[in-house]
Chain A
């Protein structure tokens, strides 16, 4: 639909509002209107308050539960099913580092590459490019557990056949957050005005030189924000990893391509599953570690966006 076709609708909207406003001012009392407005403002503020209260309650509750276990040994001690008093998250943290390292290694080049192709090279009139776009949007909405099934059938077993190792978890989670990275990078690249690349091209730079030396540097803060938010999401992701082997109870330091592995959220889940009170405290302490990590990354991303994002 073009803009012109919408004009009658806008006009109709305006007429409807005019009629409503006139009727109101002629029939309704001014005081009642003010009362209704006041009630609505209170309703809106309680909506905002409710959402924020949920977040604050979660954080406060977890600190109240697990705060007592917040020592360095929580991070450095190996896990245990017998002595919850001294058990820690060492192998799970290492597992998370491996998985996330692999995710970053994968999503940065591939995510940015796909975004550059779609924004700078792709001809939007071609059906295959539209298919790629539609596909990425759809992929962003596929439930994480379905990616777990993909990981199980395709990466752990099947064609790739890595086995239940950290690398398989890494690829699975990487594919899961890839659409988010692509969408954020596209947004960042699109925000760079075309006059910048037109100027570079007019001066004789090639397409790739223009992208490498003008477009990408200008888009870096936006891309980085998207990557960091995706990493924060990847750290907290547990569901797909359940299917690709992270449930193994490992007491030894994991390796990337062999042996079992676990990650922080999965380990937290396993501790929380045990009946004793000490394990519940241990799980809550693990949640605090994860929350600190995720909140730090989120705040960093927000700061980065506010600090470096340029308005052209």
Chain B
């Protein structure tokens, strides 16, 4: 409804103030701002104990030493053993998941008839949703003994293996790689494919020389996201790779600790709410947070690139 103002002109402003509308807007805004508050809270829960930690332990010891034994009688705080553990998991997981995921994505995007797509896509979503405890136990109980039987010449010992943990994490991130690179390849305009076909290219050439190069930023994003997911994965590596030794270990058949497994392992015992051992949880947590933050930033940059080019 419009009303007439004092001069007799029609006014276009609302006749009633509509406080309800404003209240609703404020509620929605608060919901959106909550996410920023969560990030701030994460930083604020990590930062003070991390600073406390570095007051006790020097930077050069944390990043310079190679023995990780924070809870020992003579503690040592060289972070490299668990960083290397996480690194091995990332490398193996990507080595497994990138070929499998990329081949699956090319198949789904370029080759698969709709009928197969409709079966494979949900199956991959289910794989993505498998609880990590279940996958960890599967790796520990099934994958590890199976591989040990197949490769008796390797020096297997103890129930844990960082290599098997990496393999299981690889299986976990396959769906992520498939869905992100499939999206990227489907965003490639049909005109590019048709042009190539018209010039006599075969289906294989179109897929590998036109679609994959055109979607490369999305594919790179998928790989980086998978790496970030592998760094942050906890239960699988904790169950399959165990607690590990305090020294740097590159032997894939042996158990090794990752950053995430360290945090999980430390926190299941009694957690005394202070002391430098308690603070190590936060110092390692900060390292993990910034590592994944950087990887996610890189991935988002690549995703934005393919969106901008073809949208």
| Residues on A facing B (Cβ under 8 Å) | 1, 6, 10, 13-14, 16-18, 20-22, 24-25, 33, 36-37, 40-41, 43-48, 50-52, 54-55, 57-58, 61-62, 65, 109-114, 116-118, 120-122, 131-132, 134-139, 141-150, 152-154, 157-158, 175, 178-179, 182, 206-208, 229, 232-233, 235-239, 242-243, 247, 265, 268-269, 272, 280, 283-284, 287, 290-291, 294-295, 298-299, 302
Contact = CB atoms under 8 A, between A and B. Distances in A.
A28 B208 CA distance: 17
A42 B171 CA distance: 20
Given A132-B36, A284-B141, 16 more contacts: A41-B111, A48-B107, A51-B104, A58-B135, A61-B138, A113-B27, A141-B295, A143-B233, A146-B285, A149-B285, A150-B41, A236-B134, A237-B132, A272-B140, A290-B133, A298-B122
Contacts of A109: 31
B132 A135 contact: no
Interface in B253-268: 260, 263-264, 267-268
Given A55-B127, A117-B28, A145 B264 contact: yes
Given A44-B107, A135-B39, A138-B297, A208 B204 contact: no
B161 interface: no
Given A33-B202, A145-B263, A150-B38, A44 B103 contact: yes
A135 B35 CA distance: 7
B199 A17 contact: yes
B289 A37 contact: no
Nearest to A17: B196
A93 B213 CA distance: 49
A19 B107 CA distance: 25
B75 interface: no
B201 A17 contact: yes
B58 to A, nearest CB: 23
A139 to B, nearest CB: 6
B281 interface: yes
Interface in B99-136: 99-104, 106-108, 111, 120, 122-127, 129-135
B137 interface: yes
B203 A238 contact: no
B296 to A, nearest CB: 4
Contacts of A229: 125, 129
Given A48-B103, A113-B31, A284-B137, A153 B309 contact: no
A50 B31 CA distance: 41
Contact of B171 (A54, A65, A237, A239): A54
The secondary structure that dominates the B interface is: helix
Contacts, number: 294
B55 interface: no
B21 interface: yes
Given A47-B104, A117-B28, A153-B282, A146 B288 contact: yes
Top-7 shortest CB links A-B: A143-B232, A236-B131, A113-B31, A47-B103, A153-B45, A239-B234, A117-B28
Interface string B32-52: 111110110110111001000
- Name which of A118, A146, A298 has the most chain B CB atoms within 10 A of its CB: A146
Contacts of A141: 225, 228-229, 232, 292-293, 295-296, 299
Nearest to A283: B137
Contact of A287 (B34, B101, B137): B137
A51 B171 contact: yes
B196 A21 contact: yes
B142 interface: yes
Nearest to A37: B204
Given A52-B120, A54-B171, A20 B209 contact: yes
A45 B113 CA distance: 13
B214 interface: yes
Contacts of A148: 263, 267
B205 interface: yes
A21 B127 contact: no
B213 to A, nearest CB: 7
Contact of A146 (B99, B171, B178, B232): B232
A301 to B, nearest CB: 8
Nearest to A244: B267
